[in-house]
Amino acid sequence: MRVRVLGVALWVSSLGILATPPSLAATPAAADAAAEALLKRIHATTDLRDARRAFDELVAASRDSPRAAYLCGLVAARAGSALANRGVALDCLGRAASHGIPEAQHRLALVLLEDGRDPVKRAEAEKWLTSAARSMPESVYALALLVAERAPHPATRRAVVEKAATLGYPPAQFALAEIMHRSGSKQDQVVARELLEKAASQGHAEAAAELALLLEADKRAADSAKIVALLTRASDGGSARADYALGQRYAQADGVRRDTVRAFELVRRSAIAGYVPSQYALGYYLSHGIGTPSDDVVALEWYRRAAERGHLDAFVAVGNAYANGWGIGKSIDLAYQWYCKAAKSGHDGARTLVERSATRADCDLPEEPRRGSEPHEGRPDGAVR
């Protein structure tokens, strides 16, 4: 089961399943097996009443079985579940944690951290993570994040993340690779790539995506087949960034056979996941009919979403829609307002357009552009309509 703490994905172990009614359990092993059977029943039934009965039995069993307490806590802590109950989760996980079950200590810490900035809960969570970290890389990493947040010096963050990465935890390997990549040191760059390779080989989707993009940027070492393989693996693992990059390759026949329908589906999935360059690209695909029938109304919706997130080419695209009446009523005044927004934010093309306009006085431009137009990854074919 995947959960999030402080913006980083952490993994809690899934558990096995056996069968024996808890009331018949006469030994610790039998009690554990009975608890596993109840968990299986909860997961297998489609009858909510039966699931509640099994859960109540699991809660009762948790008083005598640390394993049952852990399983009870997992079920009660599952957000969105009909059986979710934070109080029961804290109680069950607390008992299991006190019996020294590292998984329970880790999960209890995550539940405690859901209270945000409560210093008492955070201190207790840190205590449990410290204990669980003796055997769980997930806990080492979560603890590293807590420590780094309290003492956010880059060297401190690097030191604590390195510990989890050394234990082979893929999210920590990925985080450390990012830290080392930003350092600028050639040696760090080499090690960063090795860490990405390790994390990607263990199924970390973002590590695979990052590695693919690094290879893509290194023209001397570009290996199109490897890049496509990495992007495909990352896309299958749920990376919105990889969906976008792979979609662009299908649209442009870059290392793969051209397939605009596949490109559209990948870009749409990435856009829905919230990746801003894909939101702009999806608008572009829709407005130009790439892999889908053209639809200026829906295209404008996606351009607006990207613009709300600060994508400069999307500002221009919305302006173009108003200027030409694409998907909305034509309005030169509103078009100019969008061009002005883009120009003020540093879009070179929009600035040139505004400077040539007779109404330039209405747009208070900075003396010099702060930056150029949006990076190419946000422009499906390097141009706007």
pLDDT digits (tens, 9 = 90+) for 263-282: 999 999 999 988 999 999 99
Supply the pLDDT for residue 364.
81
Nearest alpha carbon to residue 248 among 234, 262, 230: 262
Q: Is the dihedral of CA 304, 305, 311, 313 positive or negative?
A: negative
Q: Are 290 and 310 in contact (CB under 8 A)?
A: no
Supply the pLDDT for residue 359.
65
Max mean pLDDT range (51-60, 145-154, 159-168, 310-319): 310-319
pLDDT digits (tens, 9 = 90+) for 123-165: 999 999 999 988 887 887 788 778 777 766 667 677 777 877 8
pLDDT digits (tens, 9 = 90+) for 232-270: 999 999 999 999 999 999 999 999 999 999 999 999 999
Query: Phi then psi for 133, rounded to 5 degrees?
Result: -65, -15
The CATH number for 1-143, chosen from 3.30.565, 1.10.10, 1.25.40, 1.10.3470, is 1.25.40
Supply the pLDDT for residue 9.
33
Q: Are 320 and 335 in contact (CB under 8 A)?
A: yes
Average predicted confidence (pLDDT) for the chain:
83
Supply the pLDDT for residue 80.
63
Give the domain ranges of the chain.
1-143, 296-385
Q: What angle do CA 374, 346, 378 make, to 5 degrees?
A: 10
Whole-angstrom distance, CA of residue 61 vs CA of residue 335: 67
Whole-angstrom distance, CA of residue 338 vs CA of residue 307: 10
Whole-angstrom distance, CA of residue 96 vs CA of residue 111: 14
Q: Is the dihedral of CA 221, 227, 229, 234 positive or negative?
A: positive
Q: How far is CA 162 from the centre of its chain?
A: 21
Supply the pLDDT for residue 220.
62
Residue 191 burial by CB count (10 A; 0-12/13-18/19+): exposed, middle or buried?
middle
Residue 291 burial by CB count (10 A; 0-12/13-18/19+): exposed, middle or buried?
buried
Instruction: Report residue 371's pLDDT band, with 50, 70 and 90 as the boundaries.
Output: very low
The answer, as to whether pTM is greater than 0.75, is no
Given the structure tokens 């009965």, which residue do they identify?
Answer: 53
Whole-angstrom distance, CA of residue 92 vs CA of residue 368: 61
- Given a cut of 60, whether residue 378 has pLDDT beyond it is no
Tokens read off for 260: 């605009």
- Given a cut of 60, whether residue 339 has pLDDT beyond it is yes
Torsion from C-alpha of 199, 201, 203, 207, nearest 10 degrees: 40
Tell which wins on pLDDT, 62 or 18.
62
